[in-house]
Amino acid sequence: MTASPLAEQIAQKLRRDILRGKLAPGDPIKERDNAVDLGVSRTPLREAVRILAKEGLVQLRPARSPIVADPSLKEVRDAVMVLKALEILSGELACREASDAEIAEIRDLSERHLALSETAEGDALIELFEIDMAFHTAIARASHNPALAETHAAYLARMWRQRYLSAVQRRARERVRTQHENIVRGLETRDPARVGTEIDAHLSALIVNLTRLFELRESGRDLTTNEKDIE
Amino acid sequence: MTASPLAEQIAQKLRRDILRGKLAPGDPIKERDNAVDLGVSRTPLREAVRILAKEGLVQLRPARSPIVADPSLKEVRDAVMVLKALEILSGELACREASDAEIAEIRDLSERHLALSETAEGDALIELFEIDMAFHTAIARASHNPALAETHAAYLARMWRQRYLSAVQRRARERVRTQHENIVRGLETRDPARVGTEIDAHLSALIVNLTRLFELRESGRDLTTNEKDIE
DNA sequence: CGTTTGAATCTGGTATACCAAAAAATTCTT
DNA sequence: AAGAATTTTTTGGTATACCAGATTCAAACG
């Protein structure tokens, strides 16, 4: 028995397609078409779509094709607020619960991020970003609260694309570097209040940056929407 | 087209069965058996099980029947901590975002809870408890942050049974009444700090109470496990 | 030429049939 | 009689076939 990795596998593939922009917001995800494309049956693909729907990456509509979610600014801000609360809790708990090894690992991620951040361009940006995500995920796991880590991961996944667009900017990269460093320092000194403050600052800055991105998007031509629907 | 209410319908039925204790923690949920019992096919039942799994009510195991989750004390405490963070955020946001009507509705729920709390016994306890849940849900919705409300609801659902066992106790009922009142006062005066503090106290007390319940359960015979497996 | 109506088609929802892996039971061996 | 190996059964995973609602496009009517 294969323990149903297939649905999860498909979900993973779709997730990447969505986040990389291959599947643009608003695009329909038709059960039949995608199933034959991937060479699988509709059943597991259907299940995969449900998984993504729970994560908020796709939107189910009654009697309609599911579509790739296209969150509004408010929705993104709402999600970041929740993420912030979750991550602050993670950081505070991590101060108490994390092992030294775990904190060392977080520092390591921070430094790898630092090293890559200055030079990265093109495809390396994706790697940079994945390290960024791993950094935050590691903090959530260091809370030793699996439920928290899981929910945190779900929110992170949901906003992957938005965060990616934000993190890629040069000016944001500078800021992220120092903020990550501050968070690590707080963890190393096991200072929950400081960690909370730093994470708060970090994610508050993210909200500001995302807001700016959305405003840019509304004026000027679009960075996130693909051009295919103009064809 | 029926917009797939079937799976959701089944999930709802199973959820109630689990929470009322008809399906005890550890019980397997076999696809075939339950499907024929409910007179539906395996496909929607399977989907329903996945929904409950995402909510944390059932536990999927590779190559095994899913079983009704039987959370340990640590897991419950972990979940309540997350719930607390979510609910504090809800309360703080509600102070800023909620309409007067929404706050009035929350007060109404608090008062209905109060009225029922003193006299309720037997089946009325379920109604009492549903009002309790509605109270907390209303606060989450009053945050005007749908993502937050949804995640909060998921955590609430996950711990329905534990909270039920806690809320039914006479001594807990007394405490809950005054704490609800305090939260409402904070909302009415639009005082985020106070609301945060009160919710914190409320849920911290819940953790204490749940811990006590678990200790009781470990000594003496079991209140939550049904007796069927001794047959 | 515009509007309306109906049929063809596309979509997701549901049921069922089949397969492989894991548990359980039985039997064969020692 | 005890243990191990094999066979049988049970379970979930996957594919496929069928159904009903919704959309859309076209033709006919005003």
The ipTM assigned to this model is 0.81
Interatomic separation, CA of residue B1 and C1' of nucleotide D19, rounded (Å): 9
With CB atoms and an 8 Å threshold, state whether B147 touches A43: no
Residues of B within 8 A of A54 (CB-CB) are 54
If you average pLDDT over every residue of chain B, what do you get?
86
pLDDT band at B3 (very low <50, low <70, confident <90, very high): low
- Between CA A196 and CA A155 the distance in angstroms is 18
Give pLDDT tens digits for B34-74. 888 888 888 888 888 888 888 888 888 876 788 888 888 99
Give yes or no for a contact between A88 and B84, defined as CB atoms under 8 angstroms apart: no
| Number of Cα atoms under 13 Å in the Cβ half of residue A111 | 7
- Between CA A148 and CA A86 the distance in angstroms is 7
How much is the pLDDT for B17? 84
How much is the pLDDT for B162? 83
Give pLDDT tens digits for B116-126. 888 877 777 77
* Residue B88 vs residues A55, A124, B11, B22, B83: alpha-carbon distances, Å: 23, 39, 29, 33, 8
Which protein residue lies nearest to nucleotide D22, measured between its Cα and the C1' atom? A63
Q: How far is B147 from chain A (nearest CA, A)?
A: 6
Q: Give the domain ranges of chain A.
A: 5-68, 73-218
Residue B175, C-beta contacts closer than 8 angstroms, at least 6 positions apart: B205
B5-68 and B73-218 share one fold? no
Report the CATH fold assignment for B5-68. Arc Repressor Mutant, subunit A (1.10.10)
How much is the pLDDT for A121? 75
- Between CA B44 and CA A177 the distance in angstroms is 47
In sequence order, the β-bridge partners of residue A59 are A67
With CB atoms and an 8 Å threshold, state whether B147 touches A86: no
Q: Which residues touch strand D (CB under 7 A)?
A: A 1-7, 40-44, 47, 63-64; B 1-2, 28-33, 42-43, 46, 60, 62-66
B73-218 falls under which CATH superfamily? GntR ligand-binding domain-like (1.20.120.530)
More confident residue, B223 or A50: A50
